[in-house]
């Protein structure tokens, strides 16, 4: 069992509605050696994919994106969840969060991703995939190619996994949850 799965079993907290709380090591406090191990795992998977940039969405994706990008020797762009007034030419897309039952904007300054770049998308969770779809739209608006999708924790029983794999993206999740039943996590093989 890899270190992230071990940590989830030791310190993760299952809330109702299939939500896994990981605040003590990934979403609020960061376990630095664990984040580094996640970065190593994801960078290793995508090391031959010709990645030129890592893209994530604030906030939860930033730490694993950094740990991955520094190993690939490329910059990270974190997409912003509001349109900062300092952005001169923002590209924005609306994302609907099932978890929060509301929509929000995801924005990026145009020109940060250049056409023909090979982008690796990284995030802390893949659930319904709505956040990824927003990022996918912005990356494609910039004319770039998505060369991979790397996720710390995927909940395979939600729609995001099928969406990403169905679109043919090179996909890697460090911890894949097949199901959550009666307070127990079942790992995907």
Residues that bind ligand G4P (CB under 6 A): 19-22, 27, 58-60, 97-99, 124-131, 155, 160
To ligand G4P, the closest distance from the beta carbon of 115 in angstroms equals: 26
Tell me which of 12, 39, 60, 150 binds Na ion, using CB under 5 A. Answer: 60
> In this chain, which residue has its C-beta nearest to Na ion?
60
Sign, Cα dihedral of 22, 23, 24, 27: positive
Q: Which is nearer to ligand G4P, 17 or 33 (CB)?
A: 17
Q: Give min distance, CB of 91 to ligand G4P, in A.
A: 18
Q: Cα–Cα distance between 160 and 101 in angstroms, integer?
A: 16
Residue 162 interacts with, from Na ion, ligand G4P, none (CB under 5-8 Å by kind): none
CB of 104 vs ligand G4P, minimal distance in Å? 8
Token output for 134 = 């927003």
Minimum Å gap between C-beta 44 and ligand G4P is: 23
| Coil vs helix vs strand at 175 | strand
User: In this complex, which beta carbon is closest to Na ion, that of residue 41 or of residue 126?
Assistant: 126
Q: Which of Na ion, ligand G4P, none does 99 bind, CB closer than 5 to 8 A by kind?
A: ligand G4P
Q: Are strands 90-97 and 102-109 parallel, antiparallel or unpaired?
A: antiparallel
CA–centroid distance for 79 within its chain? 11
What is the chain's percent helix, strand, coil content, to nearest 5? 30, 35, 35
- Smallest distance from ligand G4P to CB 87, Å: 19
List the end-to-end C-alpha distance of the chain, in Å, as a whole number.
Answer: 11
The angle that helices 32-45 and 62-72 make with each other, rounded to 10 degrees, is 50
Binding residues for Na ion, rule: CB under 5 A, are: 60, 124
């Amino acid at each position: 069992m890899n270190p992230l799965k071990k940590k989830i079993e030791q310190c993760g907290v299952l809330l109702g509605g299939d939500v896994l709380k990981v605040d003590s090591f990934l979403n609020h406090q960061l376990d630095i050696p664990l984040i580094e191990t996640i970065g190593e795992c994801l960078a290793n998977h995508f090391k031959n994919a010709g990645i030129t940039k890592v893209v994530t969405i604030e906030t939860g994706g930033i730490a694993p994106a950094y740990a991955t990008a520094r190993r690939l020797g490329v910059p990270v762009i974190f997409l912003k969840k509001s349109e900062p007034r300092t952005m001169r030419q923002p590209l924005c897309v609306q994302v609907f969060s099932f978890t929060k039952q509301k929509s929000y904007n995801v924005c990026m300054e145009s020109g940060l991703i250049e056409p023909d770049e090979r982008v690796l998308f990284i995030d802390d969770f893949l659930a319904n995939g709505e956040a990824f779809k927003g990022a996918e739209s912005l990356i494609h608006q910039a004319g770039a190619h998505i060369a991979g999708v790397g996720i710390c924790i995927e909940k395979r029983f939600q729609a995001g996994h099928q969406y990403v794999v169905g679109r043919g993206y090179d996909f890697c999740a460090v911890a894949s949850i097949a199901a959550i039943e009666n307070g127990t996590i079942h790992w995907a093989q």
